[in-house]
Amino acid sequence: MHSWLLIAVMAFTTILIRFMPFLLFKKKVPETIRYLGNALPYCAMAMLVVYCLKEVRFDSLAGFLPELIATVIVVLSYKWKHSAALSILLGTIIYMFLIQRIFV
């Protein structure tokens, strides 16, 4: 039961956040908000990349090399082919291989 309550809270909060700008700025958008609105999507994604990599540890090779290698592969493959799907697939498969077979 608690798990359903948790899901309800997450869903409700997400919906609230998504509707908030449209409820708050029905008519005129303040200049400050427009400035933030332009800049923050870029900043937020940088923040989320760090958030995803927060479990990285530097006390052993296995703590950071799989992430490092997979990240480099995602970046290089994206620069090469410009395909989000390919880079995500490739990076994930290599990461899974590394942590399951190499750095066990």
Partner 1 sequence: MQKETREAFKDSLTIFPGYLVLGIGFGVLMDAKGFSFLHSAAMSLFIYAGSMQYTGVDLLSSSASLLTAFLMTVMVNIRHLFYGIGMLKEFSELKKHRCYDIFALTDETFSILCSKDLSGCDADVYCFCLSLFNHIWWISGSLIGALLGDILPFDYRGIEFSMTALFIVIVLSQNESNKDHLIVMLSFAITIFCLLVFGKERFLIWSMLLIAAMLFILRRIRRNNDA
Where in 37-66 is the site for partner 1 (CB under 8 A)? 37-55, 66
**Do 94 and 70 meet the contact criterion of CB atoms below 8 Å apart?**
yes
Nearer to partner 1, 45 or 60 (CB): 45
- Minimum distance from residue 102 beta carbon to partner 1 (Å): 11
Which pair of tokens denotes residue 65? Answer: 């090399």
Reported as type and span, the H/E element at residue 27 is none
Q: Can you state the angle between helices 65-81 and 84-97, rounded to 10 degrees?
A: 160
Task: Quote the DSSP letter at residue 99.
Answer: I
Among 62, 68, 80, 92, binds partner 1 (CB under 8 A): 92
Please, what is the end-to-end C-alpha distance for the chain in angstroms? Answer: 36
Nearer to partner 1, 37 or 63 (CB): 37
Residues within the interface to partner 1 (CB under 8 A): 2-7, 9-11, 13-15, 17-22, 25, 29, 33-55, 66-67, 70-71, 74-75, 78-79, 82, 84-85, 87-89, 91-92, 95-100
